[in-house]
Structure 1
Amino acid sequence: MHTTFLSLGSNQGNTYEALDKAIQLLFERVGRVVKISPVYQSPAWGFEGPDFHNCVVRMETSLPIKKLLDTTQSIEQLLGRKEKEGTAYQSRIIDIDILLYDDVVRHSDQLTVPHKHMQERLFVLQPLADIAGDEVCEALSTAENPVTYLGLLEACIDDSILTKQAKWLKKPQDSIDLGGYNYITIEGNIGAGKTSLATMISEEFNAKLILERFKDNPFLPKFYKDPDRFAFPLEMSFLADRYQQLLDDLGQYDLFKDFMCADYDRYKSLIFAQVTLQEEEFLLYKRLHEMMYKDMPQPDLYVYLYQNTERLLKNIKKRGRSYEKSIDPTYLEKINQGYLDFIKTQHNLNVKIIDISELDFVKNRADFLSIINQFTNE
């Protein structure tokens, strides 16, 4: 993910509406809105015209810088911005400028970052300092001379009069109702993307993230080489670890988070164990599982990410874990069927099955938001 700061301005029509629509489209097409500065009224810069309403938005995006430029320009056009006549500055419904993109320094005919006029404009530096303050602007700093955003503001000689507005713009994600859930579980087969989705949700919606510690399990590489021998110690190890972790994480309420989001559920152990263990082993395992988890809270929402086996194998190959290279497609199909059979029996569990076989929610913002919208759709 890349951090970018965007300057938004409008001096035609309903300026607040234009700014609000622009931020909504940026949220939908660019990435996560991290912070929005206060809105400032400022005089037109470089020409005679109505006052502007300006703000700065801090975002995180997976878009490369050229794609970010193309996207911001398409949003301007969508909101009614007309082609510029001549070289002089003029009034506009919406203006979106890329101020900074990580610590990139770039000069071209299409784009210059840091923005070539950023240090000259008070209506840019004041809202930028409001949301970045004492942070160091890496693109304008050296090891010997770190430059903060507040320092840029203090050095600015622009004597324009800014008027801070009482009305604030809201982050788009704050208007998304996740149903008031306190505990969401993202489940799926190996390589389905459950960890990626849980992580994205936690970052986007201020959730406490609970991730399975699968990388620490010493039996996992051995199991993929010799399933018959290492199935039972593997599943017992997972059972103990998942229980202890859920006990710790669910029991520690975080006042600074809105809800909890996990990339695994308590029943995962049973689903995998039923596939990997012999019948007698599984019956013993099931008794232990029921004893350990009988008082453990259940998620308010259980999301199952379905991907076809072909996509799962591609994802597994892409992430490059050596011990997963030998996974049998038949094993993945059995795991998927195990999940579906389990879901059919859970009449008291709020379950949503989402087919993501044709989606790429990591690279495609629209795919991610389409999944989120399904959380509350009946």
Structure 2
Amino acid sequence: MNIQHTTYLSLGTNQGNKLENLQNAINLIADDIGGILKISSIYKTPSWGFDGNDFYNICIKVSTNQQPEALMSSLLKIENELGRQRSTKEGYQDRNIDIDILLFEDHIIFSKTLIVPHSKMLQRKFVLIPLSEIAPTVIHPIEKKQISICIQGCDDTSEIIKVNEALKRPIPISEKYNYIAIEGNIGAGKTTLANLISTEFNAKTVLERFADNPFLPKFYEDKERYAFPLEMSFLADRYQQLTDDLAQFDLFKNFIISDYYIFKSLIFAQVTLQKEEYLLYRKMFDLMYKEITKPDLYIYLFQNTERLLENIKRRGRDYEQKIEPAYLKKIHNGYKSFIKTEKNLNSLIIDVSEMDFVANKKDYLKIINTIKHF
């Protein structure tokens, strides 16, 4: 589990479309750094320390797993991405975006690249007023006073006006969903992705216990003989696991994520069972399905057959090495039909055929942002 830290940032802009500059910065912070927990009102203030256009200033509260130095580096990258041009001239200047770390937990940091708390925050009304709006009782770690009290000692006499426009707070995954189910063909990477998301967002994982099923190796040796006991044992185990785990709310976890959904049982049963067996199986399934909690988001990871076979070979499970392409295609067609006909599920299909979300952080972030903005 990644430890989440609370940090407060100051954002300012006095060039171009100032409202858009702030919103773009907020969106990138949410995508690349962490969840935006609070956003202050927008405050218009005169340029501070030089003659220039009026500024729009805000403060935001962010939850991040990044350490202070890494956070500073990420913020500089965001400024660059938004087109900030830094000059070699001395003194303050116009800028389309400026992002500063004000507070990071109760840490006190003095390094070559970073000073926290921000050394000038107590001298600037355009920082203290929006910060006090969202964090009035937070203690300044050096002054040992609440931010709302620190304002009273600020000598800044510049005019500050609240702007009517409001900014949109991106909703974090942990707030948007209580239960996410990730599905996919054999070797699609659903368990790996579920574990990555769980680690980053402090989610409770419900992982399929396929390794404990004694019929699975036998099934790949003799499908006709062991198909029915395999599918029935999977159905019973999945039902029991989902019923038990989804009923137990963990106060220390933000949400639940599973690497399978109960409908997986029916999809595989359609492929593996004879007609008479399937009709009997379907009766049992329908009874159980009524009692299962439905996910807020159902994600299907699509991998092309070639990549699936590569992944299956790479992970090296002996009983999977004889899986044929035709079998994988039947499984995919089953999922495709299910997603098309099951209208009550909030379904999201993500094509990961050209991605490596384990080795490539950009691919992983692309998936996370797809989920966030769905």
TM-score (norm 2): 0.66
Report the alpha carbon displacement of residue 244 of structure 1 after superposing the two structures with TM. Answer: 6.0
One-letter code of the match for 2:357?
D
Question: Deviations for 1:291-339, whole angstroms, at most 9, x for unmatched residues?
Answer: 222576866864212465666898x9xxxxxxxxx95571896996675
Pairs within 5 Å for 1:1-378? 1-136=4-139, 140=141, 147-172=145-170, 185-188=181-184, 191-194=191-194, 196-197=196-197, 213-214=206-207, 222-223=212-213, 235-243=235-243, 264-270=260-266, 286-294=282-290, 302-306=298-302, 308=307, 328=318, 330=320, 339-346=331-338, 347-349=340-342, 352-356=348-352, 358-360=355-357, 363-364=361-362, 366-368=365-367, 371-372=370-371, 375=374
Distance 1:327 1:294, change over 3 A: same
* Equivalent pair of 2:206/2:256 in contact (CA under 8 Å): no
**Local SS of the residue matching 2:28:** helix
Aligned equivalents of 2:216 and 2:118: distance in 1? Answer: 58
| Letter in structure 1 aligned against 2:136 | G
Question: 1:166: Cα distance to partner?
Answer: 1.7
Q: Which runs of 5+ in 1 are unaligned?
A: 204-208, 253-258, 317-325
Please state how far the C-alpha of 1:182 moved relative to its aligned partner: 11
Structure 1 residues 312 and 371: alpha-carbon distance in aligned structure 2, compared to 1, 3 A threshold: farther
* Stretch moving more, 75-84 or 293-302: 293-302
Q: Deviations over 1:26-49 (max 9, x none)?
A: 334434332211011223333344
Cα offset, 1:65, TM superposition: 3.9
Cα offset, 1:121, TM superposition? 1.9
Task: For residue 191 of structure 1, give the secondary structure of its aligned residue in structure 2.
Answer: helix
- The CA distance in 1 between the partners of 2:313 and 2:154, in whole Å, is 55
Q: Which residue of structure 2 aligns with residue 323 of structure 1?
A: none
The amino acid of 1:30's aligned partner reads: I
Q: Separation in 2 of the partners of 1:226 and 1:287?
A: 23
Tell me how far apart the structure 2 counterparts of residues 25 and 374 of structure 1 sit (CA, whole Å).
Answer: 12
Q: Secondary structure at the match of 2:191?
A: coil
Q: Number of paired residues?
A: 337
**How far apart, in 2, do the equivalents of 1:332 and 1:303 lie?**
27
Deviation at 1:96, TM superposition (A): 1.5
Quote how far apart the aligned CAs of 1:153 are: 3.6
Please report how far the alpha carbon of residue 55 of structure 1 lies from its aligned counterpart in structure 2 after TM superposition. Answer: 0.4
Root mean square deviation, CA, Å: 5.0
Secondary structure of the 1:57 match is: strand
> Retained in 1: the 8 A contact 2:191–2:207?
no
What secondary structure, in the 3-state scheme, does the structure 2 residue paired with 1:56 have?
A: strand
Does the CA contact (< 8 Å) of 2:267 and 2:334 recur in 1?
yes
For structure 2, list consecutive stretches of 5 or more residues without a partner in the other structure.
219-225, 250-254
Name the stretch that deviates more: 287-296 or 328-337: 328-337
- Are the aligned partners of 2:198 and 2:205 in contact in 1 as well (CA < 8 Å)? no
Deviation at 1:151, TM superposition (A): 4.2
Q: Secondary structure at the match of 2:44?
A: strand
Report percent identity of matched pairs. Answer: 35
Deviations 1:210-233 (A, max 9, x none): x66459x8xx77548997799776
Q: Name whichever of 41-50 and 222-231 sits farther off.
A: 222-231
In 1, Cα distance between equivalents of 2:38 and 2:101: 15
Call closer, same or farther: CA 1:10–1:300 in 2, change over 3 Å.
closer
